[in-house]
Amino acid sequence: MKTAITEMFGIQHPIIQGGMHYVGFAELAAAVSNAGGLGIITGLTQKTPELLAKEIARCRDMTDKPFGVNLTFLPAFTSPPYPEYIAAIREGGVKIVETAGRSPEQYMPALKAAGIKVIHKCTSVRHSLKAEAIGCDAVSVDGFECGGHPGEDDMPNMILLPRAAEELKIPFVASGGMADGRSLVAALALGAQGMNMGTRFIATKEAPVHENVKKALVAASELDTRLIMRQLRNTERVLDNKQVEHLLEIEREKGASLKIADIMEQVAGVYPKVMIDGDMDAGAWSCGMVVGLIHDVPTCKELIDRIMADADRIIRGRLTGFLDGKVASTAPQKVA
């Protein structure tokens, strides 16, 4: 399949693996890229720019295909040394950066001077237009369903994607709630040029996380995510667990007076405990509603091949079948 996104990034399939804290290591990025998608290393999981340089080198040892690095721009008070991270990306020869969080505007000159293609992830049409205006090459449009930070507009992809298509000139991928061939076809129908997946890629053989995490994703349903930190206007969609329930209780008690300090125990330093140690109740960690569509733990290649084969069947069989007057009696099968 060829789309503006496969051509822009030099990849075989229009499928991107979004940056994920303590998940997006070289092993996963290389596996996704080797399978014909675009793998992305999560920049800030590497505690220093030097460590990111090593992670990029490790990824290069595992794949000769294009891969990217995610740079998440956090609120100013915790600002990491972004220019040094960008230098590590440039010197590592990486040509694709996924930005997220705050606007990448101040870093665009450095990224563009290094010949880097920038895909900015954002949750609204206005932020997508801003990304286009400051010279981003593409946008990852992240709907309310998504794992991680869905923003504060609560706009699901069924509306957000066609709205983005109405307004944007640069290509965009659909992000949030994407899992399989059905997602890809729907994303393309709504105007996207591909899709970005987070949660789905955690439940793959190569994702370098504890087996408990993969088991929890397969066991969970679409009803098992919760939204936290709404009062702080830093909403995050996470998988429910004991600590998340406790956190929500604190949020209810504190109401509008909630401070980040009140929930520090439930949100700080959680990722290594969950992803490395497999302590599933350590605190709040991002997970999308798409968890309800995850029923197995394939390799990245099995997953991507299956998505592309299912998309082909849906487009050529089911959809053109409707046009040809063939009534398909059943919906596409549950995958795996």
Ligand X SMILES: Cc1cc2nc3c(=O)[nH]c(=O)nc-3n(C[C@H](O)[C@H](O)[C@H](O)COP(=O)(O)O)c2cc1C
Residue ranges in 266-295 that form contacts with ligand X under rule CB under 6 A: 285-288, 290
Contact 37, 68 (CB under 8 A): no
Beta-sheet strands, E only, within the chain = 15-17, 39-42, 67-73, 96-101, 117-122, 138-142, 172-175, 195-197, 225-228, 236-239
Which listed residue (1, 3, 21, 258) binds ligand X by CB under 6 A?
21
Contact 336, 298 (CB under 8 A): yes
Show the site string, 104-133: x = touches ligand X by CB under 6 A, - = not.
-----------------x------------
CA dist., res. 176 & res. 157, Å (int): 8
Q: Smallest distance from the beta carbon of 285 to ligand X, in angstroms?
A: 6
Q: Smallest distance from the beta carbon of 289 to ligand X, in angstroms?
A: 7
Which listed residue (14, 15, 19, 94) binds ligand X by CB under 6 A?
19
According to the binding rule CB under 6 A, does residue 72 interact with ligand X?
yes
Q: Which residue is nearest to ligand X (CB)?
A: 198
Full DSSP string of 141-201:
EE-TT-SB---SS---HHHHHHHHHHH-SS-EEEESS--SHHHHHHHHHTT-SSEEESHHH
Which listed residue (68, 92, 171, 198) binds ligand X by CB under 6 A?
198
Q: Smallest distance from the beta carbon of 255 to ligand X, in angstroms?
A: 28
Contact 210, 273 (CB under 8 A): no
According to the binding rule CB under 6 A, does residue 146 interact with ligand X?
yes
Q: Which stretch binds ligand X (CB under 6 A): 20-28, 52-60, 157-165, 327-335?
A: 20-28
CA dist., res. 238 & res. 266, Å (int): 12
According to the binding rule CB under 6 A, does residue 304 interact with ligand X?
no
Q: Smallest distance from the beta carbon of 256 to ligand X, in angstroms?
A: 27
Which listed residue (41, 97, 100, 188) binds ligand X by CB under 6 A?
100
Q: Smallest distance from the beta carbon of 45 to ligand X, in angstroms?
A: 7
Residue 113 burial (10 A CB sphere; 0-12, 13-18, 19+): exposed
Q: Smallest distance from the beta carbon of 307 to ligand X, in angstroms?
A: 13
CA dist., res. 134 & res. 157, Å (int): 24
Residues that bind ligand X (CB under 6 A): 18-21, 23, 42, 70, 72, 100, 121, 142, 145-148, 175-178, 196-200, 285-288, 290
